Structure 1
Amino acid sequence: MSSKDSLGPRLLGVIAVVLFGGLLGILNSTMAAVAAGTLARDFDTSLSTIGWTSTGFLLAVTATIPFTTWAVDRFGGKRLWLAGLLLFIAGSFGAGMAWNVGSLIAFRVLQGIGAGLLDPLVLILLARAAGPRRAGRVMGLMGVVLSLGPVLGPIAGGAVLASLPWRWMFLLSVPFGAVAYLLARRVIPADGRGEPQEAGLDVLGLALLGPGFGAVVLALSQTAEHGTVAAWQPLLPLGVGAALLLGYGIHARRRAEPLIDLRLFANRGFSASVTIMGLGGLSLFAALFALPLYYQQVHGHGVFAAGLLMAPIGLGGAVAMPLAGRMSDRIGARGLATGGAIVAALSTLALTRVGPDTPEMWPALAAFALGLGSGCFSAPTMGSLYRTLPGPMVAQGSSVLYMLNQLGAALGVALVTLILQTAEGPVAGFHGVAWFSFAVIVIVLAAIPLLPGRPQAPAEQYVPDQMARTS
């Protein structure tokens, strides 16, 4: 392998610092969920009200991501990264010192704004630092964080609650965030301000796109809470979100430089990549939501034990992603993604066979295989996405990917909740979720042939017509 293609010490340092900062947001997005009962008791309020500490965080992340698309080229990636860390640290400290449920929700929203800056910047900074030749292996390293973060969050939250007051779930992020900030100042190279933006911020586009996606995510969260889409609580934000997104589509076609250029989707490779990542995330989040309930309701385990039994799915992804990403830089994404999707599909089929008498070892092995399979199609797909995009479009592509990922996670939780609530018992509900995941992965398999072939150097300049012809 040529030195040009290898990951030197300097690049490895940037990768480590960026992933460390990005992990903070991922952990906090899942950690607070295990404390819902404790928070409801301490603040003497309902679980539905406490649920807004997680919903508010998620909505703030979703609404902030489109702004990051514009701001990264206006202010520079390093400046924006440091600002995101400061907001996240401030939100963490405030949440840890919250005096009532309203202040806790408000500081969680501030945390979410910081995470909304950091999340897409992880992809943008790594993609720009690595370049197209090393995109697969760098995205594979990022996949370790994406795989372990959702699993480690509940485990870490359970460990903190077992030995410390709930406030430390948030306060512990302050020193870690401070270390991430100091390391980022030292290690991440200054990139200055990006290309001059004559059109300035697309204010109308931002006002339509961020709240539009946020409203749809809220509708899906309300569907999960109420167990139906027919109630006014999910229908109202769903209608508002659909109207805002439709308005953005009309606006983007008329504006010369919209916040996110919808002509990106004319590129078959880009559309296939974001579709596969969105569906893969939906399937994986369905398993992450259903497996702990299976261990608790069917086998009688506590929250912390169920969290530990979730570790195999994260470990599988952490093992597969770096290897698959590295290989995809040489041989392309299609073969690896196909093999991974087949393994993931077989794993979900295995989960349809577990029952109350099944030893925990078997669903744990199936979950590990699901993590392996998902990692084998996720990392190559992410790598192919960044090989497809010209440099100036990396920020927009990252925002699209993250917004669809948030949407997929919310949709997965909502659908899994509906499946479990309409099933005849916990085992039947878990089997229904496994069949749902299997169906989603079959769709992923159908989309994989649309991915780009062997790695090629991307175009230097964004030309929509040229991108539309790229395969």
Structure 2
Amino acid sequence: MATTHQMPPDASETGPLERHVVAVAAVVVLGAVMTVLDSTIVSVAIETLGRDFGSPMPTIQWVMTGYMLALAAVIPVTGWAAARFGGKQVWLFSLALFVGASALCATAWSTESLIVFRVLQGLGGGMVMPVGMTLVAQAAGPQRMGRAMSIVGIPMMLGPVMGPVVGGLVVSNVSWRWMFVLNIPLGLLAFWLSSRVIERKPSMRTERLDVLGLSVLTPGVVSFVYGLSVLAERGGLDEVTAWAAVAAGAALIAVFVRHALRVDKPLLDLRLFANRTFTLAVAIQVLLGAVLIGSMLLLPLYYQVVRGESASTTGLLLVPQGVGAALAMAVTGRLADRGKGRVSVLAGLSLIVAGLAAYTASTAGTSYVVMSAALLVIGIGTGCVMAPVMATAYAKLDRAAMPGATATLNVTQRIGGAIGTAFFAAVLQHQLSQARAVGTDLVEATADAFGSTFWWPLALAALAIVPAGFLPRSPRLASGEGR
């Protein structure tokens, strides 16, 4: 253990990633990009699906909602599964489930069948990202974590942005079924490559499942995310059923927290929060999840409602954000490995704040050049934050703790994203109601409503600067943090 932290700087900080680490990261990216893409690709096809199946919008919306809930439901168990059966085995199983469910989705004959198949697809997809991150983290080790995480972070950034673009092109030119058919060759390729390049590690056959924790946490997360999703879709604060689901979910999560602190092998190891650096990284992840996932509700709506753009054009207008993130991540991972993670995170959060500031001041006629430049700045800022924060979260953990840490990071980020999305939707609905009541220029009033709403993700991004300021200058200097 000690030798890991005493390697010469040139070997760990400036040397290239080993071929096997790059290979593992590459196949994880190939597998993960499909699942992240599918989170948003269907959004532009909802109207088409409703028309083809003759289903009303509240029903067909479950094609998206069911997938997202399945993603959330399966994440808590991935840490245990990876430890119990081995990361490679769980990874291959999750890929097979996702590809098989994608094939079923392509053959769906009714709304009900498509929803069921999408839930199966979500169960596979929900395991792909956290297990993939664990595989990369274990292959890279703490000294090269920043660069490895910068590779894995690419699908997290590009997937949600490219989803509407790909979905729009598919729906406009061929059948919606091709949105799912595309996953089959990519998934099979990822499965074949994974079986060859990912090393099989010994599994912990004695690892017992925390059945009580699973029975409490999984429905808690699902109920919480479902309630917030309903609030986000309907944009109101008077949805009694949705608030009841949120309250029930929060209560179940609280019960799990109490349970997890009393047993030796909980489903999620909350004792990781005794590590100050891990706690700070999770706090940033939650706030950043709220900002980025919540903004993916606001940004497309701004272009469609205020600027009157189509879904496919809107997707293209959002591309600069993904491009900026990918460009930044190519650099910031190395900075994190050189002990400059805190500087990168602080700079990135400042850029996100600056980019969102442009949207707070946007009007119905603001130049698209200005808007695209602002998105590029947001993307660059995001790329400066993601890899260093993930690298910092893993910096002082041994490899056995990484599956549980990855599950915790994914669960908390997803909850943060659900909270941000629901809150921003409620604020936007309130602002739009006020805009309609004004009775003057409705277009400009609507633009002002969006501008006022964008202040909230800006405020959360600024708030994330506080925990970022307490990150260690170098993750390797944080050795006493469990105390």
TM-score tier, shorter chain, comes to over 0.9
How far does the alpha carbon of each residue in 1:440-460 deviate from its partner, in whole angstroms, 9 at most, with x for none? 01111111122233131887x
Counterpart selection for 2:270 from 237, 259, 262: 262
- Please give the alpha-carbon distance, in whole angstroms, between the structure 2 residues aligned to 1:58 and 1:114: 12
2:394 is aligned to 386
- Please give the alpha-carbon distance, in whole angstroms, between the structure 2 residues aligned to 1:239 and 1:412: 16
Bigger Cα displacement from structure 2, 352-361 vs 131-140 = 352-361
2:405 is aligned to 397
- Secondary structure (helix, strand or coil) at the match of 1:265 reads helix
1:223 is aligned to 231
2:22 is aligned to 12
Q: Residue 137 of structure 1 contacts residue 325 of structure 1 at CA under 8 Å; is this kept in 2?
A: yes
Amino acid at match of 2:110: N
- Please give the alpha-carbon distance, in whole angstroms, between the structure 2 residues aligned to 1:174 and 1:54: 19
2:65 is aligned to 55
1:214 is aligned to 222
- Secondary structure (helix, strand or coil) at the match of 2:476 reads coil
Bigger Cα displacement from structure 2, 79-88 vs 337-346 = 337-346
Q: CA 1:95–1:457 in 2, change beyond 3 Å: closer, same or farther?
A: farther
Amino acid at match of 2:72: T
- Please give the alpha-carbon distance, in whole angstroms, between the structure 2 residues aligned to 1:224 and 1:434: 15
- Please give the alpha-carbon distance, in whole angstroms, between the structure 1 residues aligned to 2:169 and 2:141: 39
- Secondary structure (helix, strand or coil) at the match of 1:12 reads helix
After TM superposition, the score normalised by the length of structure 2 is: 0.92
How far does the alpha carbon of each residue in 1:276-313 deviate from its partner, in whole angstroms, 9 at most, with x for none? 01211211223322222222222222111111000011
Counterpart selection for 1:320 from 298, 322, 328: 328
1:463 is aligned to none
Note the 1:120-199 alignment, pairs <5 A.
Answer: 120-193=130-203, 195-197=204-206
- Please give the alpha-carbon distance, in whole angstroms, between the structure 1 residues aligned to 2:198 and 2:211: 29
2:428 is aligned to 420
Q: Residue 133 of structure 1 contacts residue 457 of structure 1 at CA under 8 Å; is this kept in 2?
A: no
- Please give the alpha-carbon distance, in whole angstroms, between the structure 2 residues aligned to 1:246 and 1:161: 43
How far does the alpha carbon of each residue in 1:165-205 deviate from its partner, in whole angstroms, 9 at most, with x for none? 11111122112111111111111111231x4535x111111
1:75 is aligned to 85
Bigger Cα displacement from structure 2, 173-182 vs 128-137 = 173-182
Amino acid at match of 1:166: W
Amino acid at match of 2:472: P
Amino acid at match of 1:369: V
- Please give the alpha-carbon distance, in whole angstroms, between the structure 2 residues aligned to 1:381 and 1:18: 19
Counterpart selection for 1:21 from 1, 23, 31: 31
2:466 is aligned to 446
- Please give the alpha-carbon distance, in whole angstroms, between the structure 2 residues aligned to 1:21 and 1:408: 24
Note the 1:191-340 alignment, pairs <5 A.
Answer: 191-193=201-203, 195-197=204-206, 200-340=208-348
Query: Does residue 66 in structure 1 map to residue 76 in structure 2?
Result: yes
Structure 1: runs of 5+ lacking an equivalent: 460-465
- Please give the alpha-carbon distance, in whole angstroms, between the structure 2 residues aligned to 1:218 and 1:286: 15
Amino acid at match of 1:220: L
Query: Does residue 355 in structure 1 map to residue 363 in structure 2?
Result: yes
**Alpha-carbon shift at residue 37 of structure 1 (Å):** 0.4
- Please give the alpha-carbon distance, in whole angstroms, between the structure 1 residues aligned to 2:235 and 2:38: 25
- Please give the alpha-carbon distance, in whole angstroms, between the structure 2 residues aligned to 1:160 and 1:437: 31
Aligned-residue CA RMSD in angstroms? Answer: 1.6
- Please give the alpha-carbon distance, in whole angstroms, between the structure 2 residues aligned to 1:160 and 1:405: 30
Q: Residue 29 of structure 1 contacts residue 54 of structure 1 at CA under 8 Å; is this kept in 2?
A: yes
Bigger Cα displacement from structure 2, 17-26 vs 351-360 = 351-360
Q: Residue 236 of structure 2 contacts residue 429 of structure 2 at CA under 8 Å; is this kept in 1?
A: no
2:114 is aligned to 104
After TM superposition, the score normalised by the length of structure 1 is: 0.94
Query: Does residue 372 in structure 1 map to residue 380 in structure 2?
Result: yes
2:3 is aligned to none
Amino acid at match of 1:108: R
Query: Does residue 456 in structure 1 map to residue 476 in structure 2?
Result: yes
- Secondary structure (helix, strand or coil) at the match of 1:388 reads coil
Q: Residue 46 of structure 2 contacts residue 60 of structure 2 at CA under 8 Å; is this kept in 1?
A: yes
Q: Residue 356 of structure 2 contacts residue 458 of structure 2 at CA under 8 Å; is this kept in 1?
A: yes
Bigger Cα displacement from structure 2, 257-266 vs 128-137 = 257-266
Query: Does residue 468 in structure 1 map to residue 479 in structure 2?
Result: no
Structure 2: runs of 5+ lacking an equivalent: 1-8, 436-444
Q: Residue 269 of structure 2 contacts residue 405 of structure 2 at CA under 8 Å; is this kept in 1?
A: no
- Please give the alpha-carbon distance, in whole angstroms, between the structure 2 residues aligned to 1:2 and 1:453: 18
Amino acid at match of 2:356: T
Amino acid at match of 1:366: A
1:435 is aligned to 455
Q: Residue 28 of structure 2 contacts residue 152 of structure 2 at CA under 8 Å; is this kept in 1?
A: no
**Alpha-carbon shift at residue 346 of structure 1 (Å):** 1.4
Q: Residue 294 of structure 1 contacts residue 426 of structure 1 at CA under 8 Å; is this kept in 2?
A: no
Q: Residue 59 of structure 1 contacts residue 217 of structure 1 at CA under 8 Å; is this kept in 2?
A: yes
Q: Residue 30 of structure 1 contacts residue 154 of structure 1 at CA under 8 Å; is this kept in 2?
A: yes
Q: Spell out structure 1 runs of 4+ moving beyond 3 A.
A: 1-5, 195-198
How far does the alpha carbon of each residue in 1:29-52 deviate from its partner, in whole angstroms, 9 at most, with x for none? 110111110111111111111111
- Please give the alpha-carbon distance, in whole angstroms, between the structure 2 residues aligned to 1:289 and 1:161: 21
- Please give the alpha-carbon distance, in whole angstroms, between the structure 1 residues aligned to 2:53 and 2:453: 34
- Please give the alpha-carbon distance, in whole angstroms, between the structure 2 residues aligned to 1:181 and 1:230: 46
Identical-residue share of aligned pairs (%): 38
**Alpha-carbon shift at residue 226 of structure 1 (Å):** 2.6
Q: Residue 29 of structure 2 contacts residue 154 of structure 2 at CA under 8 Å; is this kept in 1?
A: no
- Secondary structure (helix, strand or coil) at the match of 1:257 reads coil
**Alpha-carbon shift at residue 25 of structure 1 (Å):** 0.4
1:462 is aligned to none
- Secondary structure (helix, strand or coil) at the match of 2:32 reads helix
Amino acid at match of 2:372: A
**Alpha-carbon shift at residue 429 of structure 1 (Å):** 2.5
